[in-house]
Structure 1
């Protein structure tokens, strides 16, 4: 079969990519020649070729043809007459440009479907511009008709006959909308952008005018000061001259008359000299400096007390003999309203495989109010209760700092040196009863601080909206591969981590504690920062309703099995099959990293994008895969060890190849979060749980049982514990984001995971082989020659993809050439040499007949 194909036509022996390159070059040549004929158009050429006979054209003597001025000769004269004179004039040059682009895309083996919109836009622009030029040609005859062509003039004349003078208004409106569509197909966005430009220009002009007025006023003041100085100098000269004249008059007096007077009279004390304005100002400045120095000493003494590590506003209150300092976090600096959208637009242009627009920040709800509402009365009352309760137990507190967060207020206590910390911790229930708080948590001591922390819920809780988290410079300017912005800390700062560094995340919490909203927050952060070419999701939702909203982004972000009925996996059997398929994907990726001689997915993709790895050898761009499991307890209850094994394998090995797990459960018991799973999930989130046992199961310590629900959570990544108020994402916001992405054109082929091989296939006499692959025989020879039943071996030797190589391996297994599936280890080869293989293949031919 292969020999017949190779001995066929000329292109039969070439690879598919080489054929496309040849076709692309031919199409570009045609486009270039047509463009040359249009650029070298001369009106006299067509009349000349009408007088030429076929004999003169075919004769060796080119005499008559030499008079043709077109660069493409006689053919060019015909082509240019058709495109320039008959059609749309010189504007017809857009046609060969479009042909050149098609040839280039075919040459580069790109998807020509991307050119449908540019082609339609170019044709429409050509007709519109030629019609506008034809209108002016009909009315004023300003230029030659070759600029609009006969078709453009005819279109303009028909439009004039129908609408009269309104025809030019219609053409003008169409031209404006066409230009706006070139800038952005979303006209409303373009209008908003132009409005922003106009507002910036007005602001800049106003600032320039104000600066000009300031400079003018400064120059006027300088001139007045100089005039006053000159006047003062002139006055001083007059006074000096008058004093000199008086002195000369007194010197003419009698010396004798002057002596007695000087002897009898006592020397007079000099009159007190009047202070000048400069001296008064200098004395006032000295007093201000002295006062500031004293204040600085007081502030420095205050700074020696324990406080938060960020700059905060301070409101000092004194009561009795203990000071309380209230700190309200100022929060992260907000980014510009469209900064995230601008960065995402630039990022989308860098990836040419699919035209994709990131969701805009306008799809998210704006928070109704900004900042924390500080209830000083509540803080002072809690301070009085805490001090009174501890004073009754003879525990001395020197100072208290109150840090107000969205959900709770952290009271930092500075106890006396002789107070035992464990003594304060033992009174947790007493303090909880005294403050009447739903959940009071004591940190004794605060990690990294010489203070004891008491977290008391606020009377009025603040909702942290997802927009206030994503629209910050911290998130917008982040260079994380998979950024997750969970919410805000007690200091009112955005808490953000990189999923690739964790590398897996375990989430637990009781029903209604905010676990599902937390999953939506994670997905939303990734959708706003990651291109679909760099990220894929595998979503497993046994409850069937929590992740169903994300079906709309199937063609962009979801990775599924080839035979999957639904993109969101809800059946336990399908979940098990998908997880085992992910382990196969992980093994294949490790083979690719080994062949590429790199250590992680980031280095591999850089090497592939730089052209150092060949696609024909099975290499490809590897996106990150985030596996989301919404309810692990249900899977463990129905499948048990069969589910635990692939999860544990992925948790142990999948980090380097870009596969990361986010697993959630509402029942954090030891039979759900087993030791094997727990050991490989250093990143953990605990929402409110029912008991201390559940808290210790998920966090290895207590505290999660004292949370107050509705997104209040504790996060740890193997180090300290951080309390965070989870950002809120509504169902309406999720629907709008998925609608925005789902309405865009997706990939022609979804990202498919490797097909899970059937281990229960019967051995012995092989089943009939239907739809046998044409490379079956070649693959069998490669396997027998190398004595290695590996999918990656077939990929490299036969230059095929993973799925096709896997199907061939299945057929070889059914034929008895290789043994059953053995995980990451290559299959055993059951045929020793080529003679035995030939005999087996002959038997298969007879059996199939």
Structure 2
């Protein structure tokens, strides 16, 4: 008995994962055996097995069954006859391959539905190839029918009877489209890819020709240099021979003179002086030869040297030196590094199957970079120095930092120059440079210099792909990373929205505000899983955020019963904001019960299993609320809109609710003091006046921006000038299509309903339809002396809406008091005895 129970316990203890592994191995073995039978097919086997009897099959002696050539024996002969002869010939080998892959996926515990498209493609390819082979077998009888099978030949004959010679054209078209679908299901994308390959091959061939031509020219130059050096050497040898001949004549004359006269010291001195002269002449010849060789070597470098000399000469014209600095930008990541990281991140979150958008959905920037116009920089330098010298302001040096939109000229003034004096000449400099917008920073924060920002004559467009595909963005560990664009130093400017914690955006019409909001949303979509992020989109203009309706089931949070996922009505906007405040209060209750201080610690504790889901705890995603036009809401609702925004801005950071509020009219009646006080992070595009700039930034400067994404950002400290990254409407559509075509959540993320606890006067008498959990809820409320919806949710394991209705019924029954905002209702019943009396009275009332 013990042995039996032990064996039964062992079998019962096999886990589901181990059972799936066993099933996977069996399925892979089945596919392998079927493949073996097809590969070892022999036409004579089926004739032989027809003559076999049952007795011969099970005979111990050597019988006719041993003459079967199939590797799987009699069963293999039957299987191979069916697959090879009856179906699609040797092409039927695709079937056991598909079966093997199904077994592998079962063994590895992967999702089977991933094989649906490959299975359909494999079966279609098998039928198509068999039909093409059957067509040639029928028409020309080139090879045996075992390559196409009876099914392939039959299909080809039916097609020939219907379409005649056009059948091969139809089959060829099917074959081409099938091959294109193998590369990419999107045929247009495949055609574009083939065109790209053709273009790459042509460019490679042209580069090879250019390199070959360049090498020929280099060899030609080397030969010319060698010929020139040879001429120089021959000329030097001729001169040396002439010197040797003259030396021999001189020596002969000296020997004659020595014979006819007595030796004196003076001729020796003359002889030595002649040797020194000859040696000096030879030294001069060697120097001349060395200079000629250097000239030959520097022929290719002569244009560059001339340019450098010209540049130095031009710079020497002025007393003040200028140094030009162009930022190299952040290091680009590998083409697929962001996609690989997102794939790994998607595998770590098992709640829903989700694929992050790929970097290929964004447009690639052109290859040419921002060309530095030295002439423009020198002209601006001359104008600035000339204008300041006229007012007796001495500048010691200038540094020019070239950005994508503007160039920052850093001036180092003399010690006795007042900074305010330079700032007072802003309009004079603006007129002299004929610039659209000129901004002076006196001084530059963190530097002992005065900055003058002058717009570039030719602006560079910063593409979002060049910003997102950098190591700085790919390797960031921010919770809510936002890469706005590039600074003057050509560095990617990136912030974490969860630390800001809210963002106020202002800008005139056409200044790039909508593109900036699209950039914010796109950055978050590329780095955040839908389990960890939800959007609440409020768009009174009704068209700006309509592109994001497609991601409703993945990323959008709405109130129950909402007609549209994006809020466009003012009354709905007010209701949504009040619902968000209720969501905030509920989250604070959860954080209090979990004994943590912020959403990150709470989610970590919940994921580790330290918080019980049955008690109402749940994974809390971040909620980013985007309001595209605050001015319209303030005009129609006023204080009713301002109060929930102020509450959320003051308290919602710790529970993961963050606001991004935008307006095109930054006046004091829209951006009120209450709102400004709770939005330390502000982003200003081009505005109409200095008053608007001071309203949004508390200082001037935004009125001197030049539009098209040129903006100033502050987070309570200094100002940073940024060129907003550009993302087109077509790119946003491709990203939302990619996400929207995926399977989303069965239940959308819904915010709590606020109207059900508004006031006692608005609530109808619910005693006519009392909930079945009414008595249990009343006992829980009295026992804990706390009249809150979240308590009923945790204890009764019900949803928020039902718990709210029960609270309303308890209020009408006199168990709890009226609604008191974020605090729990007062409990009017002190103990269970009083509650029993109250319930008895209710029963008599119903009778």
Is the TM value for this pair above 0.5?
Answer: yes
In the TM superposition, what is the alpha-carbon distance from 1:644 to its structure 2 partner?
4.0
User: Counterpart of 1:704?
Assistant: 702
User: Counterpart of 1:718?
Assistant: 716
User: Counterpart of 1:8?
Assistant: none
Task: Name the stretch that deviates more: 838-847 or 558-567.
Answer: 838-847
User: Counterpart of 1:810?
Assistant: 804
Q: Is 1:538 aligned with 2:539?
A: no
In the TM superposition, what is the alpha-carbon distance from 1:628 to its structure 2 partner?
1.1
**Structure 1 CA distance, aligned partners of 2:493 and 2:541?**
29
Q: Note the aligned Cα RMSD (angstroms).
A: 6.5
Write out per-residue CA displacement over residues 201-245 of structure 1, whole angstroms, 9 at most, x where no aligned residue. 787899899699989989x99xx99xx9xx99xx9xxx9xx9xxx
In the TM superposition, what is the alpha-carbon distance from 1:477 to its structure 2 partner?
5.0
User: Counterpart of 1:128?
Assistant: 128
Any conservation in 2 of the 1:683–1:718 contact (CA below 8 Å)?
Answer: yes
In the TM superposition, what is the alpha-carbon distance from 1:683 to its structure 2 partner?
1.9
User: Counterpart of 2:571?
Assistant: 573
Write out per-residue CA displacement over residues 649-670 of structure 1, whole angstroms, 9 at most, x where no aligned residue. 5445555665432111234355
**Structure 2 CA distance, aligned partners of 1:697 and 1:792?**
41
**Structure 2 CA distance, aligned partners of 1:602 and 1:575?**
31
Q: Is 1:518 aligned with 2:516?
A: yes
Q: 1:35 to 1:369 in 2, by over 3 A?
A: closer
Q: 1:53 to 1:20 in 2, by over 3 A?
A: farther
User: Counterpart of 1:308?
Assistant: none
**Structure 2 CA distance, aligned partners of 1:823 and 1:65?**
91
TM-score (norm 2): 0.69
Q: 1:777 to 1:431 in 2, by over 3 A?
A: same
**Structure 2 CA distance, aligned partners of 1:40 and 1:623?**
54
In the TM superposition, what is the alpha-carbon distance from 1:436 to its structure 2 partner?
7.0
In the TM superposition, what is the alpha-carbon distance from 1:568 to its structure 2 partner?
1.6
Write out per-residue CA displacement over residues 462-495 of structure 1, whole angstroms, 9 at most, x where no aligned residue. 3635468548747775636544443444455554
**Structure 2 CA distance, aligned partners of 1:371 and 1:602?**
48
Q: Is 1:178 aligned with 2:175?
A: no
- Does the residue aligned with 1:422 lie in a helix, a strand or coil? helix
In the TM superposition, what is the alpha-carbon distance from 1:540 to its structure 2 partner?
0.6
**Structure 1 CA distance, aligned partners of 2:787 and 2:838?**
17
In the TM superposition, what is the alpha-carbon distance from 1:809 to its structure 2 partner?
2.0
- Does the residue aligned with 1:323 lie in a helix, a strand or coil? coil
User: Counterpart of 2:500?
Assistant: 502
What is the correspondence of 1:259-278 to structure 2 with a 5 Å cutoff?
A: 265-266=267-268, 268=271, 269=273, 270=275, 271-272=277-278, 274-275=282-283
In the TM superposition, what is the alpha-carbon distance from 1:121 to its structure 2 partner?
1.9
Q: 1:561 to 1:86 in 2, by over 3 A?
A: farther
Q: 1:132 to 1:613 in 2, by over 3 A?
A: farther
Any conservation in 2 of the 1:558–1:567 contact (CA below 8 Å)?
Answer: yes
In the TM superposition, what is the alpha-carbon distance from 1:584 to its structure 2 partner?
5.2
Write out per-residue CA displacement over residues 542-599 of structure 1, whole angstroms, 9 at most, x where no aligned residue. 2323323433444554333342111221122322332344445554499489869896
- Does the residue aligned with 2:810 lie in a helix, a strand or coil? coil
Pick one of 341, 346, 355 that aligns with 1:351: 346
Q: Is 1:752 aligned with 2:760?
A: no
**Structure 2 CA distance, aligned partners of 1:147 and 1:844?**
84
Q: 1:806 to 1:178 in 2, by over 3 A?
A: same
User: Counterpart of 1:558?
Assistant: 556
In the TM superposition, what is the alpha-carbon distance from 1:720 to its structure 2 partner?
1.5
Q: 1:365 to 1:409 in 2, by over 3 A?
A: closer
Write out per-residue CA displacement over residues 720-776 of structure 1, whole angstroms, 9 at most, x where no aligned residue. 21223445556x546754675487345264642233242136487635158x79xx9
In the TM superposition, what is the alpha-carbon distance from 1:624 to its structure 2 partner?
4.7
Q: 1:326 to 1:126 in 2, by over 3 A?
A: same
Any conservation in 2 of the 1:40–1:69 contact (CA below 8 Å)?
Answer: no
In the TM superposition, what is the alpha-carbon distance from 1:451 to its structure 2 partner?
1.6
Any conservation in 2 of the 1:28–1:100 contact (CA below 8 Å)?
Answer: no
Any conservation in 1 of the 2:753–2:801 contact (CA below 8 Å)?
Answer: no
Q: 1:712 to 1:27 in 2, by over 3 A?
A: closer
Q: Is 1:118 aligned with 2:113?
A: no
What is the correspondence of 1:589-604 to structure 2 with a 5 Å cutoff?
A: 591=590, 601=600, 604=603
**Structure 2 CA distance, aligned partners of 1:359 and 1:421?**
47
User: Counterpart of 2:627?
Assistant: 629
Write out per-residue CA displacement over residues 299-322 of structure 1, whole angstroms, 9 at most, x where no aligned residue. 9xxxxxxxxxxxxx9996466x65
**Structure 2 CA distance, aligned partners of 1:27 and 1:835?**
62
In the TM superposition, what is the alpha-carbon distance from 1:702 to its structure 2 partner?
3.1
Any conservation in 1 of the 2:439–2:454 contact (CA below 8 Å)?
Answer: yes
User: Counterpart of 1:295?
Assistant: none
**Structure 2 CA distance, aligned partners of 1:536 and 1:406?**
33
TM-score (norm 1): 0.69
Write out per-residue CA displacement over residues 33-65 of structure 1, whole angstroms, 9 at most, x where no aligned residue. 5775565467789789878999999x9999999
Any conservation in 1 of the 2:539–2:566 contact (CA below 8 Å)?
Answer: yes
Any conservation in 2 of the 1:769–1:811 contact (CA below 8 Å)?
Answer: no
Write out per-residue CA displacement over residues 375-413 of structure 1, whole angstroms, 9 at most, x where no aligned residue. 36862563255325522xxx4333444555555554433
**Structure 1 CA distance, aligned partners of 2:820 and 2:551?**
35
Any conservation in 2 of the 1:84–1:92 contact (CA below 8 Å)?
Answer: yes
- Does the residue aligned with 2:320 lie in a helix, a strand or coil? strand
- Does the residue aligned with 2:769 lie in a helix, a strand or coil? coil
Any conservation in 2 of the 1:707–1:713 contact (CA below 8 Å)?
Answer: yes
Q: 1:196 to 1:364 in 2, by over 3 A?
A: closer
- Does the residue aligned with 1:454 lie in a helix, a strand or coil? strand
**Structure 1 CA distance, aligned partners of 2:73 and 2:766?**
72
User: Counterpart of 2:391?
Assistant: 390
What is the correspondence of 1:92-171 to structure 2 with a 5 Å cutoff?
A: 92=92, 116-132=116-132, 134=134, 148-159=148-159, 171=171
In the TM superposition, what is the alpha-carbon distance from 1:418 to its structure 2 partner?
1.7
Q: Is 1:448 aligned with 2:446?
A: yes
Q: 1:709 to 1:129 in 2, by over 3 A?
A: closer
**Structure 2 CA distance, aligned partners of 1:105 and 1:797?**
41
User: Counterpart of 1:414?
Assistant: 412
**Structure 1 CA distance, aligned partners of 2:757 and 2:829?**
19
**Structure 2 CA distance, aligned partners of 1:579 and 1:21?**
50
Query: How many pairs were matched up?
Result: 782
Any conservation in 2 of the 1:764–1:816 contact (CA below 8 Å)?
Answer: no
In the TM superposition, what is the alpha-carbon distance from 1:678 to its structure 2 partner?
3.2
- Does the residue aligned with 2:658 lie in a helix, a strand or coil? strand
User: Counterpart of 1:6?
Assistant: none
- Does the residue aligned with 1:681 lie in a helix, a strand or coil? coil
Task: Name the stretch that deviates more: 550-559 or 116-125.
Answer: 550-559
Any conservation in 2 of the 1:596–1:613 contact (CA below 8 Å)?
Answer: no
Q: 1:158 to 1:841 in 2, by over 3 A?
A: farther
Any conservation in 2 of the 1:585–1:753 contact (CA below 8 Å)?
Answer: no
- Does the residue aligned with 2:712 lie in a helix, a strand or coil? strand
Q: Is 1:666 aligned with 2:682?
A: no
In the TM superposition, what is the alpha-carbon distance from 1:519 to its structure 2 partner?
2.3
**Structure 2 CA distance, aligned partners of 1:847 and 1:83?**
78
User: Counterpart of 1:307?
Assistant: none
Q: 1:351 to 1:179 in 2, by over 3 A?
A: farther
Q: Is 1:323 aligned with 2:331?
A: no
Any conservation in 1 of the 2:550–2:737 contact (CA below 8 Å)?
Answer: no
Any conservation in 2 of the 1:367–1:468 contact (CA below 8 Å)?
Answer: no
- Does the residue aligned with 1:131 lie in a helix, a strand or coil? helix
Any conservation in 2 of the 1:314–1:328 contact (CA below 8 Å)?
Answer: no
**Structure 1 CA distance, aligned partners of 2:527 and 2:703?**
34
Q: 1:264 to 1:673 in 2, by over 3 A?
A: closer
**Structure 1 CA distance, aligned partners of 2:147 and 2:495?**
60
**Structure 2 CA distance, aligned partners of 1:413 and 1:264?**
71
